[in-house]
Structure 1
Amino acid sequence: MNTDFHKLLFEMSEALVTDELAALKFLSLDHVPMRKLEAIQEPKAFFEVLQEKDMIEAGNLAFLRELLYRIGRIDLLVTHLGSSREHMERELQVQGRAKVSAYRQLLYGIAEDLTPEDVKNVKFLLQKQLPKNKLQDNASMLQVFLEMERNRIIKEDDLTMLKDILKAFRADIKKKIDIYEEKKKDNYSKEELRYPVSVSVHPGEQGAEGKTTNLAVETYKMKNIPHGYCVILNNHIFNNPKQNRKGTVKDGEAVKRVFKWLQFETVEHMDLEAKEIFEKVKEYSKRDHRNMDCFVCFIFSHGEKRKIKGIDDEFVNIKDLVSCFSGSNCPSLAGKPKVFFIQACQGSVGHPAVAVEADFSGHPETDATPSTSIPDLADILIGMSTVEDYLSFRWAESGSVYIQCLCDKMKLLCPQGIDLLTILTTVNEEVGGKEFIVSNQMPGGKLEKQMPQIITTLRKQLIFEIPQGQPSKE
């Protein structure tokens, strides 16, 4: 039991008044069910619920700081949490840090802006939509909003009724809703980040005359043991035996060796249907990652453009899988790196080979895709075995070209303190330099190539340090 932590919560609860508690409850509705909040009558009970929901704990008071900032209790922010208005303004500008949705911020801001006369007008205009006992004189605007939400009169993507009500006497606030809707529309259109070519970031870029410019790039913290989950979703045996993926077991074994060596809690799930792939990813997003630094997920299967195939021949969108780890869906990993590696084709086209010596002679198999699309969030990296529309190759005896190369490079370069993006760039170079003979009607087959891809919104360097006292290789 952390005495100082509970003393802090007690002192803050004593300083909060009834209207402020109502505001805190309203702003927390995205994280705590309404029925749970409705039963709360005093601040201490509210703080207990936040602890139950893992929204606050000793050493992690980011959500509490945001709530106090939103309701204007800067005095508590300064005296009890060692923060300030300016610090919070900077903090909440960082993508993914804000836990109170823009929608709930908007409604709370409107409630604060409305005068008592405005509130009366709103209640009058809602008489046909809400029961009279919900529109009594002592009902606050936040309570009215809750009733409107409960009756589906307003919701995050439909504020038409509220705009119609306000435009008659508060056109300025109606304009705020218009701005919110425009921003939401813009964000939706930017939901997917698309990179037509591979992206690499190096700690030192070559400047003029070949000189290296050293940039001070911050590094993600990797201090917990284990660092996080390394989840492997490996489809080997399909309902249609012709689609079985020989060699994929070797990939799973290689990944487990490397990531156990790197001190991750590594687990493999075999032969999942499309729905099971999504449910398994969602399950891990709901776990408690507060004492972990990172999340890593490998997905091995067939695929098509922007999709992963389950053993049942159904597909799941890669965007939906990654979205499980958004800040709101997985708050305990907010600000921490989420890494996905996809071994699957993204189409049926082969890269034509150029006139260089072949590295392989043989007939590799192909996997067929996931998406080059990720939600517009920070701290996410997707390593793709191939670029969009193209094939990805796998050897039946030894595993996939991309995954085996990735594991080899991590064993070699992690002990040197090389960051993940640089490692993946060396993988791109090595895999992109190989040639594969693919069987077709032509005598001897034809030469094809494979080009992996890196999709990233990482904000810092991600370095997997090897454990103290262990050899430089697994």
Structure 2
Amino acid sequence: MSTEFHKLLFEISEALVTEELAALKFLSLEHVPRRKLEAIHEPKAFLEVLQEKDMIGAGNLFFLKELLYRIHRIDLLTAQLGSSREEMERELRGRARVSPYRQLLYGIAEDLTSEDVRSVKFLLQKQLPKTKLQENASMLQLFLEMEINGIIKEDNLTMLKDILQRFRADIKKKIDAYEEKKRENYSREEVRYPVSVSVHPEEKGAAKQHGKIYKMKNIPHGYCLILNNHIFRNPRYNREGTLQDGEAVKRVFKWLQFETIEYMDLEGKKIYETIKEYSKKDHRNMDCFVCFIFSHGEKDKIKGVDDECVNIEDLVSCFTGTNCPSLAGKPKVFIIQACQGSVRHPSVAVESDCSGPLEVDASPLTSIPDKADILIGMATVEDYLSYRSRKTGSVYIQSLCEKMELLCPQREDLQAILTEVNNEVAKRELEGAKQMPKITSTLLKKLVFEVPQ
């Protein structure tokens, strides 16, 4: 990393005081684990952690700019980062990385006087241990303890409102306004993104009236990256049938006018490096990014052919708006065929619906990072096996490709297609067990793939 960048971070860290560091840590809680933040006691270490998490870099200073703007260090924003209050206010519209919830709490902490904080501590005596209510405890520290003890959370600020109503009704109104806006946004999304019921091409106009659709105007629409692990260092783990999955995906996404690239037999480190490489590409003339990962795995992880694991959250996080700005506001899709555990899903069906020898992989991810425009389709829910035929490929991927070929011409959106896949796979009997795929999505619009005429 460049000397100039290190010098910039050094100068910023030297200008920050203890209270500002506490504020920066509080505002970063959605992006850096609490335990890691608690171990940080000086600004340089905090900025180093942001680098480790790829939240900031030599060509990626947006999150740092936002943090300095939030703590009112406009002097550093201007002198060191060449931005201004007005520019940040424009840039933050729709791009803020600090959640509205954390912005609200930080704003409340700033508005409370020392006497107000003492009142809060007095009213929390039955809820928090005395050791957490000492004289030198700041309001931000109190908020952290309240979160840890489940007294407040993003969708429940009732107790905080009750406390503030007693002596700062003006601030209580700020929480009311936050909750009202949250309700309005939720209602707007319900109206704006209903479940697709249109299955005929002539109903295209009606679909647009009922839900916004991501633009698909460029050719190619984007990269379809396939990471396909077939031959492992230990031959007993070779994944026969996965070549058929790769061929099926290439057939479908070349038809859908994606630039389709397949990488075979990657080590754990190389999986991450390849994903990272594609996140750094210029996607400005692309509409979308799609990534398929076929391998063995365990909970929250994908295995390389060297049996080394890579965290799925680390892979997905490469494509946040901050880390891949040229895809900000555009859909990012990850489809993962791997196991997430070793438990066979119990069956309540009586019919057998599969033929040929079946093997198991393992499936990933309990949750995705809280970022917009990302969809993850997983072969199975947590703790369970997923199945792959040595002759015809995996149950999940083959079903997905078949459904896409059938339903994309009918303008079904991807989430609806994946729901159909869930339904089909869940019905099948797999050597006396079941498989239940999973969809996790923060898409803000419908993702409808354009079929060439």
With normalisation by structure 2, the TM-score equals: 0.60
Distance in 2, Cα, partners of 1:178 & 1:110: 20
Relative to structure 1, is the Cα distance of residues 35 and 402 closer, same or farther in structure 2, using a 3 angstrom cutoff?
same
Question: 1:8-64: per-residue Cα shift (whole Å, max 9, x none)?
Answer: xxxxxxxxxxxxxxxxxxxxxxxx957799xxxxxxxxxxxxxxxxxxxxxxxxxxx
Question: 1:414-449: per-residue Cα shift (whole Å, max 9, x none)?
Answer: 001010011001100111100111xxxxxxxxx011
1:408 CA displacement = 0.4
Secondary structure of the corresponding residue to residue 340 of structure 2: coil
8 A Cα contact 2:357 2:390, kept in partner: no
1:180 CA displacement = 11
**1:103 lines up with 2:97 in the alignment:** no
8 A Cα contact 1:254 1:404, kept in partner: yes
Relative to structure 1, is the Cα distance of residues 462 and 186 closer, same or farther in structure 2, using a 3 angstrom cutoff?
farther
Q: Tell me the equivalent position of 1:459.
A: 444
Letter in 2 for 1:309: K
**1:265 lines up with 2:259 in the alignment:** yes
Which of these residues, 448, 452, 458, is aligned with residue 433 of structure 2?
448
- Map 1:307-346 to 2 at 5 A: 307-346=301-340
Q: Tell me the equivalent position of 1:418.
A: 412
Question: 1:227-274: per-residue Cα shift (whole Å, max 9, x none)?
Answer: 000000000000000000000001000000100000000000000011
1:360 CA displacement = 1.6
- Map 1:138-217 to 2 at 5 A: 143=79, 202-204=195-197, 216-217=210-211
Relative to structure 1, is the Cα distance of residues 313 and 353 closer, same or farther in structure 2, using a 3 angstrom cutoff?
same
Q: Tell me the equivalent position of 1:379.
A: 373
Question: 1:257-302: per-residue Cα shift (whole Å, max 9, x none)?
Answer: 1000000000000000111000000000000000100000000000
Which of these residues, 247, 257, 262, is aligned with residue 253 of structure 1?
247
Distance in 1, Cα, partners of 2:114 & 2:64: 25
Secondary structure of the corresponding residue to residue 236 of structure 1: coil
1:103 CA displacement = 1.1
Secondary structure of the corresponding residue to residue 257 of structure 2: coil
Distance in 2, Cα, partners of 1:369 & 1:427: 16
Distance in 2, Cα, partners of 1:144 & 1:380: 33
Secondary structure of the corresponding residue to residue 398 of structure 2: helix
8 A Cα contact 2:349 2:429, kept in partner: no
Q: Give unpaired runs (5+ residues) of structure 2.
A: 10-61, 83-96, 99-109, 116-137, 155-192, 199-205
8 A Cα contact 2:196 2:412, kept in partner: no
Q: Tell me the equivalent position of 1:279.
A: 273
1:362 CA displacement = 4.1
1:348 CA displacement = 0.6
**1:396 lines up with 2:360 in the alignment:** no
8 A Cα contact 1:302 1:345, kept in partner: yes
Distance in 2, Cα, partners of 1:335 & 1:141: 25
Secondary structure of the corresponding residue to residue 255 of structure 1: helix
- Map 1:75-114 to 2 at 5 A: 101-107=65-71, 109-111=72-74
8 A Cα contact 1:317 1:370, kept in partner: no
Identify, as 1 or 2, the structure richer in helix.
2
Relative to structure 1, is the Cα distance of residues 410 and 103 closer, same or farther in structure 2, using a 3 angstrom cutoff?
same
1:384 CA displacement = 0.3
Relative to structure 1, is the Cα distance of residues 420 and 411 closer, same or farther in structure 2, using a 3 angstrom cutoff?
same
| Higher alpha-carbon Rg | 1
1:369 CA displacement = 3.2
What is the percent sequence identity of the aligned residues?
61
1:356 CA displacement = 3.0
**1:360 lines up with 2:324 in the alignment:** no
Secondary structure of the corresponding residue to residue 354 of structure 2: coil
Distance in 1, Cα, partners of 2:235 & 2:411: 43
Equivalent pairs counted in the alignment come to: 302
Q: Tell me the equivalent position of 1:218.
A: 212
Secondary structure of the corresponding residue to residue 436 of structure 1: coil
Letter in 2 for 1:104: L
Relative to structure 1, is the Cα distance of residues 283 and 181 closer, same or farther in structure 2, using a 3 angstrom cutoff?
farther
Distance in 2, Cα, partners of 1:186 & 1:461: 34
8 A Cα contact 1:309 1:369, kept in partner: no
1:399 CA displacement = 0.5
Q: Tell me the equivalent position of 1:69.
A: none
Distance in 2, Cα, partners of 1:455 & 1:414: 20
With normalisation by structure 1, the TM-score equals: 0.57
Letter in 1 for 2:66: A
Distance in 1, Cα, partners of 2:197 & 2:63: 34
Distance in 2, Cα, partners of 1:339 & 1:144: 36
1:223 CA displacement = 0.5
- Map 1:63-82 to 2 at 5 A: none
Distance in 2, Cα, partners of 1:144 & 1:221: 37
Question: 1:206-240: per-residue Cα shift (whole Å, max 9, x none)?
Answer: xxxxxxx9882110001011000000000000000
Q: Tell me the equivalent position of 1:432.
A: 426
Distance in 2, Cα, partners of 1:180 & 1:268: 49
8 A Cα contact 2:363 2:379, kept in partner: no
Secondary structure of the corresponding residue to residue 388 of structure 1: coil
